[in-house]
Amino acid sequence: MLLVNIDGYASSESKLPWMSWSDWGWKATVASMADILASGGRPKAIACSIGVSRLEYAYEIASGIGEVSSWANIQVLKCDTNRSHGDNWIDVAVLGYTLKPIPRSGARPGDLLVQVGPIGYGFLSDLALKGLIDIRDYPRVLEYTRRPKIQLDIGPRLGECSIRASIDNSDGWIATLYQLSLSSRVKIVVEKTIIIEEALDVASRIGVSEYKVLESWEDYNLALAVPPQNTDCILEYCKRYDIRCDIIGRVELGSRVYYKDLELKPIGWTWVD
């Protein structure tokens, strides 16, 4: 089955201050690829359209997209260029293929919630944007937010492990879990979360609660609803590739998202007010 995903961004809202234009092209492409992986697919090709106010931006953005294609060993089919008299923008479409598509709407009461990959990069980016930290003090975070890298063959593994529902985290971890809850019409109960050490250390130092870290965006980690008998399949995959992965909660009858006994508000990153 053919999978297609498209994501679009304006540079004024999505290009972080420490990103080059080629970084921005890389990030936008990986973000679109993450949706293909979450759907159980393997990315196969890229197409894009960009609007720029200066010609050199087009070359740099195209360079970033080309570097992703080389890293992922997939083809760039076409990239359309346009002159923009206002904001610079980019749309990236990624084509993929799957034998077994994984929806967001498949979670069922009794499933276990598995987190694949940590959160916290977006949380620290948010603090940096607010001037509360210097992102350069956290080299690993700086590099990941500039050029995120995701596990490219995890998509087909989701189908092999009979994952019922899957979604990637781009807009915020809480918001992501709410999308899973709403799509599947279930209650999500989270007991713990995998968070990068840098985010935990900063949160503790500046007195920010763990709940605030849960808003972290553009981490591109996955939330999976997994039948209990199939959890070993995905956990063993994570162990083989040294991916931080764990059972963090469960799916129940009901609605909304809870962290232990506290109902969470669907707060996350948004491109519009």
* Tens digits of residue pLDDT in 29-63: 999 999 999 999 999 999 999 999 999 999 999 99
What confidence score (pLDDT) does residue 69 get?
98
Same domain for 86 and 189, yes or no, is no
What confidence score (pLDDT) does residue 203 get?
97
Which two structure tokens, joined as six digits, stand for 214? 């849960």
**Does 35 map to a domain?**
yes
Cα–Cα distances (Å) from 189 to 111, 114, 192, 255, in that order, read: 11, 11, 9, 10
Domain that residue 50 falls in = 2-97
The mean pLDDT value for 121-140 works out to: 97
- The total number of structural domains in the chain stands at 2
What confidence score (pLDDT) does residue 40 get?
97
Helices (H) and strands (E) in the chain, counts: 10, 11
The pLDDT tens digits for 138-161 are 999 999 999 999 999 999 999 999
Residue 17 DSSP SS3: coil
In the listed set 62, 97, 132, which residue is the last one of a domain according to the structure?
Answer: 97
Same domain for 201 and 120, yes or no, is yes
CA angle 224, 185, 247 (to 5 degrees): 25
**Does 91 map to a domain?**
yes
Least confident of 19-33, 103-117, 198-212: 198-212
Q: How confident is the model at residue 101 (pLDDT cuts 50, 70, 90)?
A: very high
Same domain for 117 and 68, yes or no, is no
CA–CA dist 263, 172 (Å, integer): 16
Residue 91 DSSP SS3: strand
Q: How many CB atoms lie within 10 A of CB 221?
A: 25
CA–CA dist 251, 113 (Å, integer): 7
In the listed set 97, 126, 153, which residue is the last one of a domain according to the structure?
Answer: 97
Same domain for 139 and 235, yes or no, is yes
Which stretches of the chain are DSSP H helices?
11-14, 21-38, 55-72, 121-129, 139-146, 154-160, 173-184, 197-206, 210-213, 231-240
DSSP class of residue 192 equals: -
**Does 157 map to a domain?**
yes
Same domain for 63 and 117, yes or no, is no
The pLDDT tens digits for 183-226 are 999 999 999 999 999 999 999 999 998 889 999 999 999 999 99
In the listed set 35, 69, 97, which residue is the last one of a domain according to the structure?
Answer: 97
The pLDDT tens digits for 4-19 are 999 999 999 999 999 9
**Does 106 map to a domain?**
no
What confidence score (pLDDT) does residue 210 get?
85
Strand 262-263 and strand 245-252: pairing? Answer: unpaired
The pLDDT tens digits for 251-266 are 999 999 999 889 999 8
Residues in the chain: 273
**Which H helix or E strand runs over 78?**
strand 75-83
What confidence score (pLDDT) does residue 50 get?
98
Strand 75-83 and strand 112-116: pairing? Answer: unpaired
The mean pLDDT value for 170-191 works out to: 97
Is residue 23 over pLDDT 70? yes
What confidence score (pLDDT) does residue 261 get?
86
Same domain for 53 and 126, yes or no, is no
CATH of the domain at 43: 3.30.1330.10
Same domain for 18 and 119, yes or no, is no
Same domain for 131 and 238, yes or no, is yes
Same domain for 36 and 11, yes or no, is yes
Same domain for 88 and 116, yes or no, is no
Which two structure tokens, joined as six digits, stand for 83? 């002159």
Is residue 136 over pLDDT 90? yes
Write the secondary structure of 125-136 as one string of H (helix), E (strand) and C (coil): HHHHHCCCCCHH
CATH of the domain at 243: 3.90.650.10
Same domain for 14 and 56, yes or no, is yes
**Does 218 map to a domain?**
yes
The mean pLDDT value for 97-125 works out to: 97
Same domain for 85 and 140, yes or no, is no
- The mean of the pLDDT values for the chain is 96
What confidence score (pLDDT) does residue 266 get?
85
Is residue 269 over pLDDT 90? no
Is residue 270 over pLDDT 90? no
**Does 105 map to a domain?**
no
